[in-house]
Chains A and B, each alone.
Chain A
Amino acid sequence: MAYGAPEPPGQEGAGARPPLRTPAPGRAEAPAARGALARSGLVSADRWFVAATAGLAAGAVLTFAALVALLVAYAAPAVVRFGLGFLTTTVWDPVFERFGAAHLIYGTLVTSAVALLIATPLGVGAALFVAEYAPRWLGDPVSFLVELLAVIPSIIYGLWGFFVLAPFMRAVVEPFLQSSIGQVPIIGALFSGPILGRDLLIGGVILSIMILPTIMAITREVLRAVPDTQREGMLALGSTKWEVIRYAVLPYAQGGIAGAAGLGLARALGETMAVTMVVGNSSSAISPSLFTPGYTMASAIANQFTEADKEIYFSAIVAVALALLLVSTLVNLLARLLVWRFVRGVGTDVAA
């Protein structure tokens, strides 16, 4: 506060303050010029400075515009040649130059859905623990540990998933699922087929760990923004803690929690390395079983970019990236809108 320290009140206006700088004689002779400057509000160096920072900001905007434009331009040959069939067929045949990305989109959707199904209850539960149940000395370390999950690079999850999670799923979890839920009609189809240890389910599980911190952190902030009067009203009626949460807190916060899940989903959609290492990377046809090895859009790109020897193959890969860009941006914007609407409704700041 050295610069901004206020003058002691006694001195103000008493003329005790010496003039900071005697005006240079040259300046005093040009009052007209100074008047013009004062009217314009900014001296010319300032204009240059504003222009320079605005230019740098424009650089960021241009980068994004160039990114979108270039992806569109390079994807155009594949989009023109395959049309909507690119999104609806599952043939991915570089030799005969036929490309359909439906199975990649399917893989992305399935792994992300599995991730959301696992991470949303866990993340909301952990956030409830931190925001509603635990005392600060316990809640802070827990939320710190969960948030640290966001710091770990994707490749580390891939490594861990590849050597630890996938063998465990293959040996323990998936046989169990197959012998229990797998026997139930209809939904049993989800857990049918041979267990290979590289499949969509494992991809979804590793993604769920990666999006857990996003969902937990934003839900926690959303819960903290719920006014205490909501809780007090329920408590005054003799509610248990859970009833307070179930009937007062969660309904109030549901929009914000949906936004948190949406931001988690946006992250899951675009995640590459961790999924690539456990999802199997096989262009098999769409099958109902979660035990099928598959591709996601991101993992297909990461696996095939070196093989893109023909222009149309290259174009097809860029088209997949473009589709991924569109989907993840859309989900991101929607989720932001949800969180933003919640924040505006509460009138508190939630860092999204």
Chain B
Amino acid sequence: MAIPLQVARRQPLRRPLSAPGPREWQRRAVDGVATALVTAAALLGSGVLLLILGYVVWQGAPALNLAFFTERPLPYGEVGGGVAPAILGTLLMLLVAALISVPLGIGTAIYLAEFGRGHFARLVRLVIDLLAGLPSIVVGVFVWALLVRHVVGQYSGLAGAVALAIIMVPIMTRTVEEILRLVPSALREGALALGVPRWRTILGVVLPTARVGVITGVVLSLARAGGETAPLLLTALGNQFFSFNLFEPMAALPVQIYTYAVSPYEDWHTKAWGSALILVLVIGCLSLLTRAVTRRGPF
């Protein structure tokens, strides 16, 4: 049997209806090949993930020990040492980034979900989309040009945190806005009917109802920002020592991985894999957690 009818749009007939089409066995064969190819694509896609993760665990696990989490990186040749400054630096910069981005992100989300109509809201949505699509290196260059080369005058943890905050805002805004929209309007109406003003309805009823979802949005954006390397390279630069001064260069785990990886030393390569394992574990767990929460429902 041929395929006589064109169900789909924009598919002109290539031969007259009366002409013989491909034979039955040919059609079966093509179908079989297509099934095989599609299955292969799926296997390859999921296989690549397992390959990468497996390799990170295999290479990284031997590097992990207590000192790896508590000591600072040592110069090449000295045995031992760890990536503690990088872990602390990442955490500190994420904390500062959260302090900047949480009010911005959640405030914007509240505006879009609760009041967002008209031209300004459309502009805000567009800008959030554009920010989300911005290559992270461009954010890095912006903060580098603004804070590192001019205002602060040197590479600093603060600049790193600002770059991370800019990356976090769109992720947070999108997630939280969606969550807030899922809060049943009956809740808002109920509160408003009791004479509660809008602002208290939102802060006292809508946000607490959606709190799990809101926290999920924040954690998700932290997980994304925590793995960013390029913008931190341009802003925080990295540091081999413990430093809690936000106005000085600061270490970060992804940057540390880069430094170790491109070095010529075997021992440092192992440490790069070890740091990679820590990073993947933390970010993977956070992402899985947020995924599980959103699967279960936002509240």
Q: Are A125 and B28 in contact (CB under 8 A)?
A: no
Q: Interface-forming stretch among B68-76, B210-218, B229-237?
A: B229-237
Q: With A153-B228, A153-B283 in contact, is A45–B42 under 8 Å at CB?
A: no
Q: Are B202 and A272 in contact (CB under 8 A)?
A: no
Mark A328-347 against chain B: 1 for CB-CB distance below 8 A, else 0.
11001100100000000000
Q: How far is the CB of B64 from chain A (nearest CB, A)?
A: 16
- Indicate if B160 sits at the interface (CB-CB under 8 A): no
Q: Are A251 and B199 in contact (CB under 8 A)?
A: no
Interface centre among A60, A70, A149 (most CB of B within 10 A): A60
Within 8 A of B (CB), among A287-319: 298, 301-302, 305, 314, 317-318
B38 proximity list for chain A (CB < 8 A): 125-126, 128-129, 132-133
* Residue in chain B with minimal CB distance to A64: B127
Which residue in B44, B55, B166 is a CB contact (below 8 Å) of A164? Answer: B55
Within 8 A of A (CB), among B193-218: 194-195, 197-199, 202, 205
Which residue in A21, A124, A149, A156 is a CB contact (below 8 Å) of B276? Answer: A156
Interface residues on A, range: 35 or more
Which residue in A46, A71, A159, A212 is a CB contact (below 8 Å) of B261? Answer: A159
Mark B121-133 against chain A: 1 for CB-CB distance below 8 A, else 0.
1011001111101
Q: Are A251 and B8 in contact (CB under 8 A)?
A: yes
Q: Are B136 and A57 in contact (CB under 8 A)?
A: no
Q: Are B284 and A57 in contact (CB under 8 A)?
A: no
- Indicate if A252 sits at the interface (CB-CB under 8 A): yes
Q: Interface-forming stretch among A8-16, A85-93, A181-189, A237-245?
A: A237-245
Which residue in A156, A162, A163, A270 is a CB contact (below 8 Å) of B138? Answer: A270
Which residue in B104, B133, B223 is a CB contact (below 8 Å) of A60? Answer: B104
Task: Classify the secondary structure of B's interface with A.
Answer: helix
For chain B, the count of residues having a C-beta within 8 Å of the partner chain is 104
Q: Are B44 and A122 in contact (CB under 8 A)?
A: yes
Mark A205-238 against chain B: 1 for CB-CB distance below 8 A, else 0.
0000100100010000000000000100110011
Q: Are A158 and B261 in contact (CB under 8 A)?
A: yes
Tell me the complex Cα distance, A3–B185, Å: 11
Q: Are A56 and B108 in contact (CB under 8 A)?
A: yes
Q: How far is the CB of B35 from chain A (nearest CB, A)?
A: 7
Q: Are A145 and B46 in contact (CB under 8 A)?
A: yes
Tell me the complex Cα distance, A189–B9, Å: 39
A196 proximity list for chain B (CB < 8 A): none
Q: Are A56 and B107 in contact (CB under 8 A)?
A: yes
Tell me the complex Cα distance, A240–B142, Å: 54
B104 proximity list for chain A (CB < 8 A): 56, 59-60
Interface centre among B31, B108, B138, B197 (most CB of A within 10 A): B138
A141 proximity list for chain B (CB < 8 A): 46
A148 proximity list for chain B (CB < 8 A): 49, 284, 287
Q: Are A126 and B45 in contact (CB under 8 A)?
A: yes
A269 proximity list for chain B (CB < 8 A): 135
- Indicate if A142 sits at the interface (CB-CB under 8 A): yes
Within 8 A of A (CB), among B219-259: 223, 226-230, 233-234, 254, 257-258
Pull 5 A–B residue pairs with CB atoms less than 8 Å apart, ordered by A.
A53-B110, A53-B111, A57-B108, A71-B142, A248-B7
- Which 9 residue pairs of A and B lie closest in terms of their CB atoms, listed nearest first? A270-B135, A153-B227, A125-B41, A56-B107, A4-B186, A49-B199, A251-B8, A145-B46, A129-B42
Apart from the given pairs A49-B198, A57-B111, 12 other A-B contacts in the complex at a CB distance below 8 Å: A54-B120, A121-B41, A145-B46, A153-B229, A163-B59, A230-B7, A241-B31, A251-B10, A271-B135, A301-B140, A328-B138, A332-B130
